[in-house]
Amino acid sequence: MPELPEVEAVCRKLRGHVVGAEIRAVVVRRCAAESVTRLAPKRRITAVDRRAKHILVRLSGGLTLHVHLRMTGNLFAIPDVRLHSADARVVFELAGKAGIVYTDPRALGRLEIIETPKIDAAMAELGPEPLGGQFTADTFAEMAQASRQPAKLFLMDQRRVAGLGNIYVAEALFRAGVDPRKPLTRLKRPRLDRLHGEIVSIVEDAIQSACRAYAGPGEFSEAEEFPLAVYGREGEPCGTCQGVIRRIAQGGRSTYFCPRCQT
């Protein structure tokens, strides 16, 4: 599943090609997007924003194209709309020859047009962005000390921190030396500050790696160029202590960690 860094890479690349362009027509193939075909044509793209893992393509007239890529979705610009891939589910024809293509092999994504105030109100229910000004060490510590959730589940809760996903949560907890099963209320302030700092650092590093991966041709996957210390490495030796990396289930998802390094 594309996580925050990958979605940010999609937005940055898309933003550089489509802001200011007018949508001339929309062709829908194998996708339920009635609001898109009805409302998108003749509107100008004014901005491309991101909130957590949500892509928000702002349109003239107070509307927003809301895209959630889910497991296998992608959204990208092409110089000639006639050359879109065969697996395209929605094609936006822009002024000139350019276009925007939405693909989603497993058809799990979401694509719809919503009034901008309504989608912004929904996005306001999410927690602070990891790289946003509201995500301070003090705010994080206050939230963490008021929750009895295990560290992994706390960080995966989008009401706590917006956009963090399974891969980068595992890596942040490893860098901070925090056991994913431990409630954050049991951590003293210096440990919480360290975890806060590692979250910010992980997201910054992951965005840079995602942008590098997405600069190349074809599709890209989450953490494609990001060096993973624990995620997906069950049974392998830890690069720090040479202990064995474990995998457990938390909240229906796999959690990877090093029992020696994370206490």
Annotated catalytic sites, by residue?
Answer: 2-3, 53, 253
Cα distances from 143 to residues 7, 46, 135, 260, in angstroms, run: 25, 35, 11, 27
Written as six digits, the tokens of 249 are 């289930």
| Gap between the Cα atoms of 219 and 130, Å rounded | 26
Sequence-ordered alpha helix ranges (H) in 68-131: 116-123
Residue by residue, DSSP assigns 24-49 as EEEEESSS--HHHHHHSTT-BEEEEE
Written as six digits, the tokens of 120 are 């912004």
DSSP 184: G
Is residue 14 helix, strand or coil? helix
| Gap between the Cα atoms of 191 and 128, Å rounded | 20
- Sequence-ordered strand ranges (E) for the chain: 23-28, 45-51, 54-59, 63-68, 74-78, 88-94, 99-103, 110-115, 246-250, 253-257
